[in-house]
Structure 1
Amino acid sequence: MSRAGRYPDTMDLPIDAVLPEIRAALSAHGRVVLQAPPGAGKTTRVPLALLDQVAGRIVMLEPRRLAARAAAERMAQTLGEPVGQTVGYAIRGERVTSDTTRIEVVTEGILTRRLQRDPELTGIGCVIFDEFHERSLNADLGLALVWEVRQALRDDLAIVVMSATLDAAPVARLLDAPVVTSEGRAFPVTPRWLDQPLHKGARFDAAMADLIARAVAEEAGSILAFLPGEGEIRRTMSRLELPGVEILPLYGALPFAEQRAAIRPSQGRKVVLATSIAETSLTIEDVRVVVDGGRARRARFDPGSGMTRLVTERVSRAEATQRAGRAGRVAPGVAWKLWTKGEDGALPAFAPPEIEVADLTGLALELALWGDPDGAALPFLTPPPAGALAEAQALLTGLGALDGGSITDHGRALAAMPLHPRLAHLLHSAGPDAADLAALLSDRDILRDRGSDLTLRLRALRDPGSFGVAKGAAQRIRAEARRLKRHAGPPTDLTPARTAALAYPDRIGLRRPGEAPRWLLSGGKGAAMAESDPLASQRLIVVTDTDGHPREATIRQAIAITEADLRAVHASRIAWIKVCEWSRRDRRVISRQQERLGAIALDDRPWPDAPPEAVARAMLDGVRELGLNPSDPARRFLARVALAGLFDTSHEALLAEAEDWLLPFIGGIRTAEEWKRFDLLPALRARLGYDEMQRLDAEAPAHLETPLGRRVPIDYGGAAPEVAIRVQELFGMTSHPTVAGRPLKLTLLSPAQRPVQVTQDLPGFWAGSYADVAKDMRARYPRHPWPEDPTQADPTLRAKKRKD
């Protein structure tokens, strides 16, 4: 059925041609994957096309609040109705629906909440995942949950996955669903690239302002420019001078009235400077030109530090395609790109799914509430990374939300709140008075470049005018605080510092020794701030926001806390422990008794009677840092062992197994200097039992016993075992000595201990070159015996008696 025929006030769109195919696929299979380029009309046409086919309510997921509102308003307008009748929406803090609502557009977290409350999705006949190519964490989780519900509880539940740039095959395989493809945009979009790459050091905002100004001069119609964040938008706006052109920002934290102003048709030309909020599901009707800065801001979570950092990266080709499509929604358009055509080929195909790079604390809580803590049974398109999930579960356990991996009653209470679990824990534990703090921490910083003190931000929220805070930002946060109070626990008298310590038990910082403002956090990581920061001298702080650097993060927001307050809220976490460890800085074993909260020591005292075994284990860490330093006898012993093949004598293998053979011998060693003087030989010899020692002495003896009975050490350090020995001491020896079945290398010495011959064939030497050697030696050392037949002579080290 043509939707244009049913709704005469709408224009024909490319998606209209495949609507019958979508309906047929859904009737036959109950699920379908739709590929449709930007501008095809899928967001507003597909739900309407399914109205008379689906029994029950159609729920469509949108990744952003602005897109959800705009889609609902557009569909309601198509039906000639106000929002809230046939078509409504539900976003965080706002719901416009009625008993007659058949299509409900929701943001992605809303669906998860409903599934947790009612897994059968009572009254819902179809779930549509719009813009699934964005691969948000909530969309991935929502699809996994809905697919499991369909398989286990609701085989009548229809599922539609829609995307502009997604590789549909993986989703289709997951759902065993047919793929329907809508070809072509509503209107063609012509790409325009830079002639040359931006030179290194070029300011992004200046380059964007120049490109926007050029596009305004050369193109007709309004312009949508994509920038990574609010900061870049503001800086670019300050550089633009476009007489007669209205310049409007568009980003998520902007008040909704200003967002609507940006997407509403204007009387003249306008330039909209937007973040990725404008990539999907929005039609800004008078836009004919896109200017793409080619950058996107993404959250990257580091499980090792437990911190998330925002990074600015090059966009993917899929994102660039999506952005360019905004120019062809209602007329032919042009897409200007702040990169060259050559650089275009180097862009990644897709942005990484959020589940691979995000903080998974909220996901871990949802999985535990669902009854599958590791998500092993859920059909995820991309499974959550094990390391990040384990880190999230550890945090939730610390917050009391999980116990042994299972959700607690406290965890259920946190899951019901529309907040990150940290802040939900804060609100539930500290009561309504903590709502301002929770709202403040869940929003962007209202006092950038004004130091890190969180108490200053709380004062600014209550008196924004005195601190120069934008009125809209303060109103937004205060409205969120009022909403959050409805979810708060019973009232308490907790201070902001105590409240923050509850939410961030792993980010309580103890100042490190020294002049620089650096802290060790209770979670084991480091953090620092500028020396000019008002909190720079504080001994104890709670860090609530950083730049997420995995080695030593820069503190962006924190609050000072007294030790008394810290002990008041975390008494159960503070305990005395005895620490015996190797200090890299001091190059010695340090034995201390410490009162610790996680990795930080609130009190630190000597531990003079640390047991020898603890000292030895700590010293073993020092050995691994310092390395082995075998004496010459120990080296010879190791060479013999290697020749006999009794154990791996490589440095790496010896260190790897040091706990087995070395630990019992180093109980009295504490320092690097003492280690230098330590002889490894007794410990190495102890590795061998009696039978192995007998084998070692037989196959790789330590000495050669000469005919005189003297024991000469064998050197095993070269390519072959070797002995240096005077020629006369071997007189009478008619066979060549061997080691491990191989000839022993003999370096034959003169009476003056100088080498005269090297041989591995002593009988051959006697029969051959000995005569020449003896002739030479008789002239040099006439007092020493040089018999004609050395095999018949007696060995000796003596010279002839001097004649009177």
Structure 2
Amino acid sequence: MLEPRRVAARSVATYMAAQLGESAGKTVGYRTRTEKKVSPATVIEVVTEGVLTRMLLSDPELTGISLVIFDEFHERSLQGDLGLALISECRDVFRPDLGLLVMSATLDCGPLTDHLKLPLVKSEGRSFPVAVSYAPVRARASWEDHIVSQIRGVDAKAVVTLAFLPGQASIRRVSRLLGDNHYADEVLALHGGLSLDKQQQVLARAAEGSALIILATNVAETSLTIEHVTHVIDSGWVREPVYDAGRHRSRLETRRISEASAKQRAGRAGRLGPGSCIRCWSCDEVMAKQGTPEIRRVGLDQLVLDLARWGCLDPSQMRWLDLPPDSAWKSAVARLMSMNALDRTGAITPKGEVIASLGLEPSLAMLVLDGKAMELAGTAARIAALLSDRDILSGQGVDLRYRLQALEQRPSAYRQVLDEASRIVQGAGSHIEDWQDRVDVLAANAMPMQLARLREGQTLRYQMADGPGVILPEHDPLAGEPWLLILDTDGQPRDARVRLALPVREETITGVLQNLSVVHEQVFWDAELNRVVGRLQTCLGEIVLHSRPMSQLGSQQIETALLEGIRQQGLELLPWTPALRQWQARVRKLSMLDSGWPSVTDEALLDALDHWLLPYLAGMRTLDDLKSLPLGDALASMLDHEQQQRLAALMPESVAIPTGRRVTLDYGGEHVVLAVKLQELFGMQALPELADGRLRITAHLLTPAGRPAAITDNLSRFWRENYEAVRKELRGRYPKHPWPDDPLNAQATAWTKKRAGQ
């Protein structure tokens, strides 16, 4: 029977054993990565999901197992989805007799039923009504203050009040606020960062039935049964891992929960009797029906390695509820190949087998292997154990060395971490090594892209080798250290707050750089100098270590940099004239009428710079050089000879008017505009048509002073229906100009009557 968390596995097994009047380890046992209680008498074994994966990889037939139960499957953990895919293949290939049961209180069963082709069994179970009300947080108010006020307003008859909060930081703040308000009931925290024993202590206190407030993360949503809960206060938030493709790791994000999670949380108050739930959001808020499966939002390194051990190199070969995203899969394969855990075909290597056997994330397994090579196996295992779980000294500085010292000085307080380290290297974790002068070498060589250098003129801000900057907490003892190895942050994509780090000495950095620094020729457009410049840069990832000007640049480098500069700053760098913008507008209008014409919008021109502009950039390097660019020729090169002739015929630059002069058309707006004095069109029956009659000209008929008098796209109708009214107005304002009764038989002119007579 699979449970998504260690505390749930222990709790469920203990509960079921108690129903038989036994202790866990007899008929009902459990097994997690760090703990095992089973015996020859065990018939039901409750395990965490990762344990099932390891069982299948070591014995694909699951010898001796008759039924596999997936509990709380709606959580859609990565290991849960992998386990179901492996079990499905096991049943197809090896064990058609193997039973499968998938359970959940809130799962959308439709896709799962179709996927597994299994019958659906529904059981209402025993539940009590829960009165749900909504209390949204006021605009610009603190939601944590709001949670406190809701807790204070709970019925005095409440036994256990359970408040759902997104993370440990919010639990600490709400707990402090309740203390500042002198709240009488005892306040306890429940989250995944607590040891299993401490989590069990909280559950035991709830079972006593005394007045209690429990501030919990989503660990209390489905994984644990908390007795005597009568009231639930739901913040509506959860912190979930989200894969950051730019930095090749997952980060925690605070997100709105799904409808299924809200239902699960409310149900905590209806286990033993009627209860109530206050939701701290509006009843009108639209929420996702189900949460996003973990397989679509976290890194896949471990998944890829596990499947390579299974013999699967292509995820489409397996049956998934949700196929692993292609980009995350390929990224994980590339990293595992760089570790030599996979060969060029994607098959697992002997080193990959060793990495997989450690039961750690591949990057941490590599740290352990490097530690063994340096005779720092115990230290490496302790670091891996520390990084695999919650911070043991949260809020007490970010220096990893404090944690390693705490493990040495207070081993009884951190037995769980030490036991995990011992498991990783089979006892070596209990050996105290001389690590102080070598731990930075170990960590920096294992995780070089997590190195960060202090930014110039700063004491808290650092640039990481693998991406954006990070910030140390104020007053942290590591402030001002030239180099740090960043081991954990708060997960923000920009300016993330450092949670765990290790100072790295300059001599260690020198050693790393000898092996990993890369010299780049960087040729780019300098927006301040308005020219292409080149620099020779020595880099570790995104960190520029040294930079000096390049003495010579190749013509291709210059042209590529020019194009990139134009893409960054826009086409305004080019010597546009009003006539060229009109050319662009003429072609744009034709391309809307006929599919055979190229797109010449600014966006399309930027996308196709290599095609139409590159041949004209030879010998150019500066903004002054670009001023002499034959831009008209470059643009015209986008049209063949026939198209250029058709453009002139279908969309002429200008048209002739009755006075004998040619007037330039304006193609830049929604309509093609002919702006001309009204008197210059006397005798003109109709406006010319464009594009073989598919596009009309709109005439802006101007007064002798050049101001608009009328607008029309039908000149003959204007003469018939509108001219007389316009004539009356203009004759009074401009009496020196001719305003004939019959404009179609009058002489077109731009002159006054006196000038026309002369």
Contact 2:454 2:482 (C-alpha < 8 Å) held by counterparts? yes
Q: Does 1:218 align with 2:157?
A: yes
Contact 1:299 1:358 (C-alpha < 8 Å) held by counterparts? no
Q: In 1, distance between residues paired with 2:18 and 2:627? A: 84
Q: In 2, distance between residues paired with 1:61 and 1:92? A: 13
Q: In 1, distance between residues paired with 2:268 and 2:672? A: 77
- How do 1:251-650 residues align onto structure 2 when only pairs under 5 Å count? 251-264=191-204, 269-271=210-212, 273=214, 274-280=216-222, 282-285=224-227, 287-306=228-247, 307-329=249-271, 332-339=272-279, 343=283, 346-404=286-344, 405-431=346-372, 432=377, 433-463=379-409, 474-486=414-426, 495-515=438-458, 517-530=460-473, 532-562=475-505, 564-566=507-509, 568-569=511-512, 571-583=514-526, 588-629=531-572, 630-638=576-584, 647-650=598-601
3-state secondary structure, aligned to 2:124: coil
Q: Which has the higher contact order (CA 8 A, sep 6+)?
A: 1
Q: Which residue of 1 aligns with 2:79?
A: 138
- Once the two structures are TM-superposed, the CA of residue 381 in structure 1 deviates from its matched residue by 1.4
Q: Which residue of 2 aligns with 1:468?
A: none
Cα 1:426/1:754, change in 2 over 3 Å: closer
Residue correspondences, number: 707
Residue identity in the other structure for 2:469: G
Cα 1:486/1:528, change in 2 over 3 Å: same
Contact 1:364 1:389 (C-alpha < 8 Å) held by counterparts? yes
Q: Which residue of 2 aligns with 1:5?
A: none
3-state secondary structure, aligned to 1:217: coil
Residues 373-407 of structure 1: per-residue CA shift (max 9 Å, x gap): 44212211122233333333343334333344333
Scaled by the length of structure 2, what TM-score is found? 0.79
Query: Which of 197, 211, 217 is residue 136 of structure 2 equivalent to?
Result: 197
Q: Which residue of 2 aligns with 1:229?
A: 167
Q: In 1, distance between residues paired with 2:11 and 2:641? A: 85
175-184 or 388-397, larger mean C-alpha shift: 388-397
Instruction: Report sequence identity in percent.
Output: 38
List runs of 5+ in structure 2 lacking aligned partners. Answer: 592-596, 681-685, 720-739
Residue identity in the other structure for 2:53: T
Contact 1:165 1:318 (C-alpha < 8 Å) held by counterparts? yes
Contact 2:463 2:470 (C-alpha < 8 Å) held by counterparts? yes
- Once the two structures are TM-superposed, the CA of residue 723 in structure 1 deviates from its matched residue by 11
3-state secondary structure, aligned to 2:367: helix
Query: Which of 628, 636, 639 is residue 685 of structure 1 equivalent to?
Result: 636
Q: In 1, distance between residues paired with 2:230 and 2:689? A: 88
3-state secondary structure, aligned to 1:604: strand
Cα 1:617/1:231, change in 2 over 3 Å: closer
Contact 2:253 2:491 (C-alpha < 8 Å) held by counterparts? no
Residues 168-195 of structure 1: per-residue CA shift (max 9 Å, x gap): 222221110011111232x42432536x
Q: Which residue of 2 aligns with 1:99?
A: 40
Cα 1:82/1:690, change in 2 over 3 Å: closer
Cα 1:608/1:99, change in 2 over 3 Å: same
Contact 2:459 2:480 (C-alpha < 8 Å) held by counterparts? no
Query: Which of 71, 94, 97 is residue 12 of structure 2 equivalent to?
Result: 71
Contact 2:232 2:269 (C-alpha < 8 Å) held by counterparts? no
- Once the two structures are TM-superposed, the CA of residue 572 in structure 1 deviates from its matched residue by 4.7
Q: In 1, distance between residues paired with 2:273 and 2:706? A: 94
Contact 2:53 2:83 (C-alpha < 8 Å) held by counterparts? yes
Contact 2:468 2:494 (C-alpha < 8 Å) held by counterparts? yes
Q: In 2, distance between residues paired with 1:744 and 1:261? A: 84
Scaled by the length of structure 1, what TM-score is found? 0.75
- Once the two structures are TM-superposed, the CA of residue 696 in structure 1 deviates from its matched residue by 5.4
Cα 1:291/1:152, change in 2 over 3 Å: same
Q: In 2, distance between residues paired with 1:696 and 1:197? A: 62
108-117 or 445-454, larger mean C-alpha shift: 445-454
Q: Which residue of 2 aligns with 1:169?
A: 110
Q: In 1, distance between residues paired with 2:454 and 2:124? A: 61
Contact 2:586 2:667 (C-alpha < 8 Å) held by counterparts? no
Contact 1:84 1:96 (C-alpha < 8 Å) held by counterparts? yes
Q: In 2, distance between residues paired with 1:323 and 1:473? A: 32
- Once the two structures are TM-superposed, the CA of residue 63 in structure 1 deviates from its matched residue by 1.4
Cα 1:584/1:145, change in 2 over 3 Å: farther
- Once the two structures are TM-superposed, the CA of residue 207 in structure 1 deviates from its matched residue by 4.9
Q: In 2, distance between residues paired with 1:385 and 1:569? A: 33
3-state secondary structure, aligned to 1:310: strand
Q: In 2, distance between residues paired with 1:745 and 1:589? A: 45
Q: In 2, distance between residues paired with 1:650 and 1:213? A: 61
3-state secondary structure, aligned to 1:76: helix
3-state secondary structure, aligned to 2:308: helix
Taking only aligned residues, the RMSD between alpha carbons, in angstroms, comes to 4.6
Q: In 2, distance between residues paired with 1:309 and 1:747? A: 60
Contact 1:304 1:550 (C-alpha < 8 Å) held by counterparts? no
Q: In 2, distance between residues paired with 1:81 and 1:746? A: 96
Q: Does 1:157 align with 2:108?
A: no
Q: In 2, distance between residues paired with 1:91 and 1:132? A: 18
Contact 1:535 1:560 (C-alpha < 8 Å) held by counterparts? yes
Q: In 2, distance between residues paired with 1:716 and 1:209? A: 65
- Once the two structures are TM-superposed, the CA of residue 600 in structure 1 deviates from its matched residue by 2.6
Residue identity in the other structure for 2:117: D
Residues 672-710 of structure 1: per-residue CA shift (max 9 Å, x gap): 56546644123223444555555556666779999xxx9
Contact 2:466 2:541 (C-alpha < 8 Å) held by counterparts? yes
Contact 1:703 1:711 (C-alpha < 8 Å) held by counterparts? no
Cα 1:452/1:76, change in 2 over 3 Å: closer
Cα 1:595/1:288, change in 2 over 3 Å: closer
520-529 or 103-112, larger mean C-alpha shift: 520-529
Residue identity in the other structure for 1:549: Q
- Once the two structures are TM-superposed, the CA of residue 124 in structure 1 deviates from its matched residue by 1.4
3-state secondary structure, aligned to 2:61: coil
Cα 1:660/1:367, change in 2 over 3 Å: same
Q: In 2, distance between residues paired with 1:295 and 1:724? A: 65
Cα 1:712/1:567, change in 2 over 3 Å: farther
Cα 1:556/1:76, change in 2 over 3 Å: closer
- Once the two structures are TM-superposed, the CA of residue 128 in structure 1 deviates from its matched residue by 0.8
3-state secondary structure, aligned to 2:316: coil
- Once the two structures are TM-superposed, the CA of residue 314 in structure 1 deviates from its matched residue by 4.2
- Once the two structures are TM-superposed, the CA of residue 563 in structure 1 deviates from its matched residue by 5.4
List runs of 5+ in structure 1 lacking aligned partners. Answer: 1-59, 465-470, 729-734, 784-804
